[in-house]
């Protein structure tokens, strides 16, 4: 073995060990109790973020090699890509086992209905052939050109990873937007490099060396290079600017609550915000929401709406729990709070709506479908329901349709979906209702 080969081998061992450090820190934190109150959320989030980071590092290898001239960097690209797959597999495992408890019918529904899960699952599926074709024997069997063509899927993986992170977080979009800016910069560099390698690009390089080319070729080459550079600068600037405004609403509410710690209306608004983000899968928002409603209920324990939101957030904590007994315990506590809120104020529209929607988001083993169905029947039969806003009616019609569909009452479900479309034809609920109708063949 030559000295250069020994250096490469040692460097690969170091890179391999460094790539395992994030997992080691997570396992150490879990064993020593240094993670948050929801350790599975921490592990799920960190494995997902490290998947995206390794994808970004993989995409960075070629640009760095071409800019610095360090050709040996290419020898680490496949190893880094395989670690991206490894962390992506851990991330998916957390979701399949700890979130859905191997309820594959619910997983398929999530993939079809929730955009951030759709793109995340798509990213992992695209990573499978990349991982399987990494061995040198497979590269030789496929041929270099076909192998390179297949591995361009990594661009799609990176884009899906960014959108998965962005649509998951919602509350604080600054981090996913920064990752998006980096990925956009890397992809545009590859585009620029590709265009330079084409005939016009080669003639441009030749011109710099004193060769001759037509004025038209010169103009086209300069326009291509200028456009890519300017577009890259504008895109990065836009993404960084957007990231500054991603946290405005939540920061405003948190600052307002800090200035007035006893402001119940601010607590309610901030808690509702966290609830909505938690319902979209943001585990950190769940914990923050529980703390906010704990404070609010310490001031006003008779607030039925706050009790309902508190219960809904506890069921989400159960959704995120990694330990099955805790999963059932948290869901039970949340459901008890929701039922207690109904007992406290049985005529409150919001309490019924919160409990009804929450029950539809729980797995079948929670046994809450009948409760959700009851809530929407009560809402639809209220004498004052025709006087409610169009937005509220659309929400009730859509989720009432979902409840009846799951109860196999398809005729009633179709009727409610059609009413949701009729009352607000341009709304998101109308679009989702039409998708439900299409799914039922209507």
Distance between CA atoms of 371 and 106, rounded to whole angstroms?
19
Cα–Cα distances (Å) from 271 to 174, 297, 341, 438, in that order, read 21, 12, 16, 35
- What are the structure tokens assigned to 311, written together? 């219960």
Q: Going from the N-terminus, what domains does the chain have, and what CATH number goes with each?
A: 3-245 (no CATH), 248-369 (1.25.40.10), 383-442 (no CATH)
Q: Tell whether the torsion through CA atoms of 324, 92, 291 and 114 is positive or negative.
A: negative
Task: Among 182-186, 229-233, 408-412, name the most confident range.
Answer: 408-412
CB count, 10 Å around CB of 160? 21
Judged by DSSP in three states, 249 sits in: helix
Can you give the pLDDT at residue 99? 64
Contact status, residue 359 vs residue 372, Cβ threshold 8 Å: yes
- 121-176 confidence digits (pLDDT tens): 889 989 998 989 888 888 888 887 788 888 888 888 988 998 888 887 755 677 88
Q: How confident is the model at residue 37 (pLDDT cuts 50, 70, 90)?
A: low
Distance between CA atoms of 207 and 128, rounded to whole angstroms?
44
Among left, alpha and beta (phi > 0; psi -120 to 50; other), residue 212 is beta
Quote the percentage of the chain above a pLDDT of 90. Answer: 33
Judged by DSSP in three states, 440 sits in: coil
Residue entry with tokens 């509702």: 272
Can you give the pLDDT at residue 344? 96
DSSP label of 114: -
Task: Among 20-34, 36-50, 310-324, 406-420, name the most confident range.
Answer: 406-420
Candidate from 150-164, 202-216, 257-271 with smallest mean pLDDT: 202-216
Q: Which residue has the higher pLDDT, 233 or 188?
A: 188
Q: How confident is the model at residue 226 (pLDDT cuts 50, 70, 90)?
A: low
pTM of the model: 0.54
Cα–Cα distances (Å) from 276 to 126, 192, 210, in that order, read 30, 41, 63
């Amino acid at each position: 073995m030559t000295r250069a080969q020994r250096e490469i081998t040692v460097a690969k061992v170091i890179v391999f060990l460094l790539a395992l450090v994030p997992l080691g820190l997570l396992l150490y934190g879990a064993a020593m109790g240094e993670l948050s109150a929801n350790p599975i959320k921490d592990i799920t989030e960190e494995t997902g973020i490290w998947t995206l980071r390794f994808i970004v590092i993989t995409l960075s290898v070629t640009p760095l090699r071409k800019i610095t001239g360090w050709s040996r960097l290419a020898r680490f690209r496949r190893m880094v890509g395989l670690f991206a797959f490894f962390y992506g597999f851990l991330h998916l495992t957390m979701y399949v086992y700890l979130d859905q408890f191997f309820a594959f019918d619910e997983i398929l529904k999530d993939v079809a209905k929730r955009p951030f899960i759709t793109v995340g699952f798509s990213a992992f599926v695209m990573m499978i052939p990349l991982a399987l074709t990494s061995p040198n024997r497979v590269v030789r069997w496929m041929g270099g050109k076909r192998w390179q063509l297949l591995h361009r899927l990594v661009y799609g993986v990176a884009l899906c990873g960014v959108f998965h992170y962005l649509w998951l977080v919602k509350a604080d979009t600054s981090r996913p937007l920064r990752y998006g800016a980096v990925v956009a910069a890397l992809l545009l560099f590859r585009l620029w490099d590709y265009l330079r390698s084409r005939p016009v690009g080669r003639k441009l390089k030749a011109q710099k060396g004193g060769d001759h080319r037509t004025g038209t070729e010169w103009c086209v080459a300069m326009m291509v290079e200028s456009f890519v550079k300017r577009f890259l600068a504008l895109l990065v600037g836009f993404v960084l600017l957007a990231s500054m405004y991603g946290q405005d609403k939540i920061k405003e509410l948190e600052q307002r609550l800090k200035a007035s710690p006893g402001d119940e209306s601010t607590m309610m608004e901030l808690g509702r915000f966290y609830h909505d983000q938690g319902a979209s899968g943001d585990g950190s928002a769940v914990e923050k929401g529980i703390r906010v409603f704990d404070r609010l209920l310490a001031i006003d324990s008779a607030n039925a709406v706050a009790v309902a939101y508190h219960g809904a957030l506890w069921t989400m904590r159960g959704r995120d729990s990694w330990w099955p007994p805790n999963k059932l315990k948290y869901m039970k506590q949340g459901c008890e709070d929701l039922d207690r809120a109904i007992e406290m104020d049985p005529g409150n529209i919001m309490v019924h709506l919160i409990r009804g929607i929450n029950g539809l988001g729980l797995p079948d083993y929670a046994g809450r479908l009948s409760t959700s169905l009851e809530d929407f029947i009560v809402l639809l039969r209220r004498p004052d329901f025709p006087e409610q806003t169009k937005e509220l009616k659309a929400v009730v019609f859509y989720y009432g349709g979902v409840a009846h569909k799951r109860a196999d009452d398809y005729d009633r479900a179709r009727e409610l979906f059609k009413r949701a479309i009729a009352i607000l034809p341009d709304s998101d609920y109308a679009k989702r209702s039409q998708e439900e109708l299409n799914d039922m063949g209507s």
